[in-house]
Structure 1
């Protein structure tokens, strides 16, 4: 077996399949683009769906890749097993309707065993096949695999319940009985069994069927190959390590953690090793995920990141690391992966900033949370109970930021469980906002053979012309059927050439008309998309007869095209200005270019300040006023990169790319339309900036006529405001408004002082009115104060005087009830929680609420129920 580094293993795989005519597809972002079915890119094939479902026909049907991936369904197993990872690389080779079994099986054997490539010991390789797939079994035998090394396994059929499916063949490596976790005579001791001896290193899927929605499995029009080889696994074989974690992909990270720890060393005890592995895995995951634009948050993939970072911090604490440390591992990860992912080191400063900020956020509450959890577990063990309550689990989550999964893990390590039903009930009651519903779209669609079979050439002429007098109608598709003629309705058509721009890169499609040679308009073009083989597919509304093979006059709505082009150029100017002002970490995360406005989404950690927005807007307008020429060239991708062209985040490009240059200010890979000079934009104005998700911001803007109209409308509103404020000049409006604000603030201070005085007077009359309620002293009163702020002031005075164990106050403001419950530390320790008590009494006033164990508040609509609520508080304490 050849000795190879992980970088060499990855490159050898790609080189091998390049030698077999494959195109190397670059690794896509971990954040899925235009795929609502995925939280993360989780496999090599996930980024190639458009090829396999027939949406797009690739230029080369033979593809290979090394795709970074994240899977988080088994986070709790990471560090405790030899193979579980959250971040991994999947090596794959793919055939989109090209080669099939008789080619891929010999290639697999050649790659694995030939000394020129991996050079694995043939005697240690075993194969599994689907029992009904005898063709694959015979091909493996013909290739040189002994029949005794081939196992028939019923599970070897890849099917996700809809779309492409088929038998698969897995390759296992025999690591020897010394690696095993079961006896040699155990029934599971075979390739594919539950054991550590036989390690699966490759799966080859023969995607030859379609699983239809009605349950039928039918032949796929084009048979495909989809393979997956985990880089970490095959590296562990080649480097002869016990687990993934002893390879050169992880050990530099583990060694760095050793130096940061309190004298801990990897390999000395299992408990510490688990923590080392968790940190190493999570450091890789969060580094790559943040580098690809994901940011920590409370939902979706942001929640996954937050959980991973916090899980790493907790395990760092177990190793004696009490300072922020995870961000220090980013350059270590970047150095390991530099040969194939140089962008990690390039974005190192930004990635570290995000992680360090998240570490600081969590560490401030970690000690308090761990102390509470330790106390909870100690009490349970003392009482003999084995379950942490849902209330306590939620309090840890809500107050201290502990993901419930982390509480679960820590509890499990101590032989305890968590009341998840109780936790979920708390979550439902306290949820501030509903999670966004995830799309129920199919994971991979079925192939549309009608569109896939359109092979005619079609040239886009819209760069230089917006009218073609001799475009030939080559294809008509109506109701998913190819026809020769059409006289009405909505259909899709293809011409041998067209000036109509197909929607791409955020730029909307052209609209216009189709006419006969004599000028009679026979159709309106309402949309243009790309067909699977790349042609511009026009959606048209037909008003007259059209025949396949006839010539037509295609006319684009030039006024609309021009307005769209102006806004498209503005997105380029905006993109570059954001990079210049905010930093190179900023990536485009989406755009929409319409005739009347533009929308630009971008990644940024934190809000964009008003000052930064003003600087961005100023920079864009300066380029407009400089009257920069806009030019475009077509070249190969490497030459384009040498020119300094920016690749749009998340997009992929073919061998030939179009580079649009805006003077000396900006160069980008781009396939859209633009004016000839920036001066045509006239004016650029930002109309809105907002956050649309964790770490993603959105700018909306207008140009040209729309920018003037926006500013004119703003000016009119300012004049109206000046009239309301009764100032002679609009320039005096701000000063007049500021003066009114000061007067209002002074008045509010006086009101607050008077309300505080009233609250103090009220406090004097209630602080001495405690009564006994069971084992607790209680003050429960209705008071006349201005609102909840005053109730809280009374609670502060109650706390200072230690007037009772429990305080319950109610007041009525504008017909609405405000309730407040406060509980002393001693009473909390004896089982009384303000949040629980207020949930009990609030229904009496027709409301609800919640809060912390020491303080809770609620609102209600029924003032007549106050006496009942106060009485209910006393009864509840008496029964506590």
Structure 2
């Protein structure tokens, strides 16, 4: 076996498949693009789904890639097992209707065993196959030459996740030898494919032969596909002969760095501490890559997963004696390890460090909150005489605050308690079941439709320069069949040889318009426009009068609608650059929507955007509009576009030829959309709103042209109405009039408060004489109306000064809401009577909850009718607590 680094293995794999005619696809972003069914890219094939389900036909049917992927369904196993990871790299080779079993199997064997490539010992390789797939067994025996005892039938070797492509698979295992045998000979699991540590699965070849239809039946695919995956971490552990994946060069530099940050802890000396080393090394890789791909910590979705990974790492860092912020020091190590294939991690290193550091700092507060909760659990258990922390509490600490079960167990043991691990595991299993149910949906494909895959007629888009042309109707499809004609009320998908209609893409909505005869008669309405599997523009139309294939029609885009779209699209480009000018280069586009009515622009940024910053951005965009900058488009190579300084949208894939939109040298972006010819065509730009839509992601909504004019007219009308209401002669007087009214209102409020205080003092004279007694404890209860909590606190202060009773309870109803306050004298506090306990008992009568200090507590509620019962219950509570 050769002495290879992980980088060598990755590159060798891609080079091998390139020799077989495969196109090497770069690793896509971990954040799925235009695929709402996936939270993360979780496999090599996930980025190629549209090829496999037939909605898109690749330029080259042979593809290979090294795809970074994230899976977090079994996060609790990371660090415990030899091979569980959150982030991993899947080496894949794919055939979309091209080569199949006869080629794929021998080629896989060639890469693994040939001296030019990995040069594994053939005697140490075993394979499994689906028993009914006799072709695969025959190929392994006849073309590869594997003996019978190296070929194992496995009934589960059929890849099927519901509707869509499916088929048998064959897995390749490496025998790591007796040193890794964790089960005795004769054990039913001691075989390739069994649950053991000796035979390690390194490669899975899936042969998509069938369509799993929604009704549960299977039918042969019109085009058979190959989908394979080989985990880089696993293969590297075999090549480098390490006990687990964590001792490879993908992880050990990170672990060594962690050693220098811990208080003298060393990897390999303590199995429990080794788990913490592994968890941190694994999680910091996943977090670094995910943040680099612009996923940011938050309380939901992928942001929640990031937050959880960071928090788990911090907690495991504490187990290693690391009390300071430390994950930021590991990011450069990750960047160095991965730089040869993923230079973007090093390029984004500062950004990644900033995000992680912010999240670590936030978690320091949460750790203390989690510890407070754990201590309160211990205190409550002591009071109840319990000795076992229930599984629900342990899981809450794990899931919400990042406390690993073993950490909770350690703290519990220090206090003389145990943890209900069975209950914890039950909660964990329920969460895992939910995740798996979600994963079944996430991984699903569409069922292949053979019709559009066969449509190869060319279609040219001429809509950059024209909105009305004559063109021949080439192909028409209705109900998944190619038809020659369509009647009124039919809905059809149509391809023309040439079209001015823009298909929805890159945030820009599709054009709408009409299909007409040469004489101007409208025969169909274009309702939507999309890309066909082979890249043509597909028009989705409602037929008004019979139309026929191979006839020429006039295609007419709704020009007014298109003009508004182009104004908004070019404005997004100007806004993107203005964002960077005002906020900094980290403000990258995170999504957009361009329609005729407005534009929406999502971007990455920490913290809120100030009003002054919004004003400056708006000024910049309008300045560029008024400068009448020419909008020039250039078709060039991706490399030359980068030399021009063109901004690319994060996560988007670009071909060799790209389109660059240059707005007067101020904004230069890669974009396939339609734009104005000069920035002054936009007219005017107005920001409507700015808001946060997730941690680190903000959204700006804006309008241009006619929509901006209508916005100003609406605001003018509102201002005129305000002037009328405050009796201002001119709109410029409105602010002064409002300030005058505010001053008058303030004076009136002061007078009102003064009158309230006088009334309260008058009532208090009688109030403090109504003292009652239960079991030697004196108390006063008082019900009033329209008094806020501040007024009740002032009453309590008077009560305390007069020292007329041991307890005081007051309640007031205002607009259907209840304010309630309880106070206890110092003497009775020493005897164990607490205001917080009293208010918690009284609050439910008024439909609320309460709490506070032992000497004073307060509550709110929404049931004023319950106040009398609450006050009556004071005597009951005193009696119960003074027996």
Query: Does residue 410 of the first structure (1) align with residue 413 of the second (2)?
Result: no
Distance (Å, rounded) in 1 between the aligned partners of 2:315 and 2:512: 57
Query: Does residue 642 of the first structure (1) align with residue 643 of the second (2)?
Result: yes
> What's the offset of the Cα at 1:205?
1.0
Query: Does residue 689 of the first structure (1) align with residue 695 of the second (2)?
Result: no
> What's the offset of the Cα at 1:607?
1.8
Partner of 2:339: 338
Question: Are the counterparts in 2 of residues 391 and 422 from structure 1 also a CA contact under 8 Å?
Answer: no
> What's the offset of the Cα at 1:705?
2.2
TM (norm. structure 1) is 0.88
Farther-moved stretch of structure 1 (114-123 vs 823-832): 823-832
> What's the offset of the Cα at 1:488?
1.0
State how 1:375-524 maps to structure 2 within 5 Å. Answer: 376=377, 383=385, 385-388=387-390, 390=392, 403=400, 406=403, 408=405, 410-411=407-408, 415-417=418-420, 443-469=444-470, 471-489=471-489, 490-524=491-525
Distance (Å, rounded) in 2 between the aligned partners of 1:602 and 1:481: 42
Matched residue of 2:403: which SS? helix
Pair 10,538 (structure 1): closer, same or farther in 2 beyond 3 Å = same
Distance (Å, rounded) in 2 between the aligned partners of 1:87 and 1:826: 61
Question: Are the counterparts in 2 of residues 202 and 229 from structure 1 also a CA contact under 8 Å?
Answer: yes
Pair 807,103 (structure 1): closer, same or farther in 2 beyond 3 Å = farther
Pair 825,10 (structure 1): closer, same or farther in 2 beyond 3 Å = farther
Partner of 2:26: 26
> What's the offset of the Cα at 1:184?
4.3
Pair 869,362 (structure 1): closer, same or farther in 2 beyond 3 Å = farther
Partner of 1:427: none
Partner of 2:678: 677
Partner of 1:724: 725
Query: Does residue 860 of the first structure (1) align with residue 862 of the second (2)?
Result: yes
Farther-moved stretch of structure 1 (867-876 vs 11-20): 867-876
> What's the offset of the Cα at 1:642?
2.4
> What's the offset of the Cα at 1:712?
3.1
Farther-moved stretch of structure 1 (566-575 vs 645-654): 645-654
Pair 262,724 (structure 1): closer, same or farther in 2 beyond 3 Å = same
Pair 478,88 (structure 1): closer, same or farther in 2 beyond 3 Å = same
Pair 720,152 (structure 1): closer, same or farther in 2 beyond 3 Å = same
Partner of 1:99: 99
Matched residue of 2:187: which SS? coil
Question: Are the counterparts in 1 of residues 781 and 871 from structure 2 also a CA contact under 8 Å?
Answer: no
Question: Are the counterparts in 1 of residues 589 and 650 from structure 2 also a CA contact under 8 Å?
Answer: yes
> What's the offset of the Cα at 1:450?
2.2
> What's the offset of the Cα at 1:186?
3.0
Partner of 2:734: 733
> What's the offset of the Cα at 1:750?
7.2
Distance (Å, rounded) in 2 between the aligned partners of 1:843 and 1:138: 75
Distance (Å, rounded) in 1 between the aligned partners of 2:78 and 2:543: 59
Distance (Å, rounded) in 1 between the aligned partners of 2:826 and 2:263: 35
Question: Are the counterparts in 2 of residues 388 and 419 from structure 1 also a CA contact under 8 Å?
Answer: no
Residue by residue over 1:35-76, the C-alpha shift from the partner in whole angstroms, topping out at 9 and shown as x without a partner, is 332222211111221111122112222121222211111111
Matched residue of 1:90: which SS? strand
Residue by residue over 1:499-532, the C-alpha shift from the partner in whole angstroms, topping out at 9 and shown as x without a partner, is 1111111112122222223333211222111111
Return 5+ residue gaps in structure 1 as ranges.
425-436
Partner of 2:54: 54
Question: Are the counterparts in 1 of residues 394 and 408 from structure 2 also a CA contact under 8 Å?
Answer: no
Residue by residue over 1:391-428, the C-alpha shift from the partner in whole angstroms, topping out at 9 and shown as x without a partner, is 7976x69xxxx71663645345665137979999xxxx
Partner of 2:323: 322
Query: Does residue 11 of the first structure (1) align with residue 18 of the second (2)?
Result: no
Partner of 2:152: 151
Query: Does residue 87 of the first structure (1) align with residue 84 of the second (2)?
Result: no
Matched residue of 1:812: which SS? strand
Residue by residue over 1:726-767, the C-alpha shift from the partner in whole angstroms, topping out at 9 and shown as x without a partner, is 445534433543454466557657767887898899999789
TM (norm. structure 2) is 0.88
Pair 526,143 (structure 1): closer, same or farther in 2 beyond 3 Å = same
Distance (Å, rounded) in 2 between the aligned partners of 1:87 and 1:853: 48
> What's the offset of the Cα at 1:605?
2.4
Return 5+ residue gaps in structure 2 as ranges.
428-437
Question: Are the counterparts in 1 of residues 722 and 734 from structure 2 also a CA contact under 8 Å?
Answer: yes
Distance (Å, rounded) in 1 between the aligned partners of 2:421 and 2:872: 33
> What's the offset of the Cα at 1:303?
1.7
Pair 125,693 (structure 1): closer, same or farther in 2 beyond 3 Å = same
Pair 416,852 (structure 1): closer, same or farther in 2 beyond 3 Å = farther
Distance (Å, rounded) in 2 between the aligned partners of 1:111 and 1:584: 43
Question: Are the counterparts in 2 of residues 823 and 853 from structure 1 also a CA contact under 8 Å?
Answer: no
Pair 144,818 (structure 1): closer, same or farther in 2 beyond 3 Å = farther
Question: Are the counterparts in 2 of residues 499 and 554 from structure 1 also a CA contact under 8 Å?
Answer: yes
Matched residue of 1:457: which SS? coil
Query: Does residue 554 of the first structure (1) align with residue 555 of the second (2)?
Result: yes
Matched residue of 2:311: which SS? helix
> What's the offset of the Cα at 1:840?
6.8
> What's the offset of the Cα at 1:447?
1.0
Partner of 2:432: none
> What's the offset of the Cα at 1:129?
0.9
Question: Are the counterparts in 1 of residues 39 and 442 from structure 2 also a CA contact under 8 Å?
Answer: no
Distance (Å, rounded) in 1 between the aligned partners of 2:615 and 2:583: 12
Distance (Å, rounded) in 2 between the aligned partners of 1:187 and 1:438: 30
Farther-moved stretch of structure 1 (752-761 vs 612-621): 752-761
Partner of 2:667: 666
> What's the offset of the Cα at 1:587?
2.5
Matched residue of 2:330: which SS? helix
Distance (Å, rounded) in 2 between the aligned partners of 1:808 and 1:38: 56
Pair 545,232 (structure 1): closer, same or farther in 2 beyond 3 Å = same
Residue by residue over 1:522-548, the C-alpha shift from the partner in whole angstroms, topping out at 9 and shown as x without a partner, is 112221111111111111221222111
> What's the offset of the Cα at 1:136?
1.0
Question: Are the counterparts in 1 of residues 38 and 442 from structure 2 also a CA contact under 8 Å?
Answer: no
Pair 189,707 (structure 1): closer, same or farther in 2 beyond 3 Å = same
Question: Which has more radius of gyration?
Answer: 2
Question: Are the counterparts in 2 of residues 722 and 728 from structure 1 also a CA contact under 8 Å?
Answer: yes
Question: Are the counterparts in 2 of residues 828 and 853 from structure 1 also a CA contact under 8 Å?
Answer: no
Question: Are the counterparts in 1 of residues 96 and 224 from structure 2 also a CA contact under 8 Å?
Answer: yes
Query: Does residue 608 of the first structure (1) align with residue 605 of the second (2)?
Result: no
Matched residue of 1:335: which SS? helix
> What's the offset of the Cα at 1:476?
1.2
Matched residue of 1:585: which SS? coil
Pair 659,373 (structure 1): closer, same or farther in 2 beyond 3 Å = same
Distance (Å, rounded) in 2 between the aligned partners of 1:417 and 1:825: 41
Distance (Å, rounded) in 1 between the aligned partners of 2:484 and 2:301: 48
State how 1:819-834 maps to structure 2 within 5 Å. Answer: 819=820
Distance (Å, rounded) in 1 between the aligned partners of 2:82 and 2:439: 32
> What's the offset of the Cα at 1:549?
0.9
Distance (Å, rounded) in 1 between the aligned partners of 2:806 and 2:426: 27
Partner of 1:623: 624
> What's the offset of the Cα at 1:673?
0.8
Distance (Å, rounded) in 1 between the aligned partners of 2:769 and 2:198: 73
Partner of 2:430: none
Distance (Å, rounded) in 2 between the aligned partners of 1:11 and 1:374: 52
Farther-moved stretch of structure 1 (30-39 vs 319-328): 30-39
Pair 827,534 (structure 1): closer, same or farther in 2 beyond 3 Å = farther
> What's the offset of the Cα at 1:879?
9.0
Partner of 2:362: 361
Instruction: Give the aligned CA root-mean-square deviation in angstroms.
Output: 4.0
Matched residue of 1:714: which SS? helix
State how 1:196-235 maps to structure 2 within 5 Å. Answer: 196-235=197-236
Matched residue of 2:593: which SS? strand
Pair 466,371 (structure 1): closer, same or farther in 2 beyond 3 Å = closer
Distance (Å, rounded) in 1 between the aligned partners of 2:801 and 2:548: 89
Pair 135,54 (structure 1): closer, same or farther in 2 beyond 3 Å = same
Question: Are the counterparts in 2 of residues 63 and 93 from structure 1 also a CA contact under 8 Å?
Answer: yes
> What's the offset of the Cα at 1:466?
2.2
> What's the offset of the Cα at 1:350?
2.2
Matched residue of 1:599: which SS? strand
> What's the offset of the Cα at 1:868?
4.7
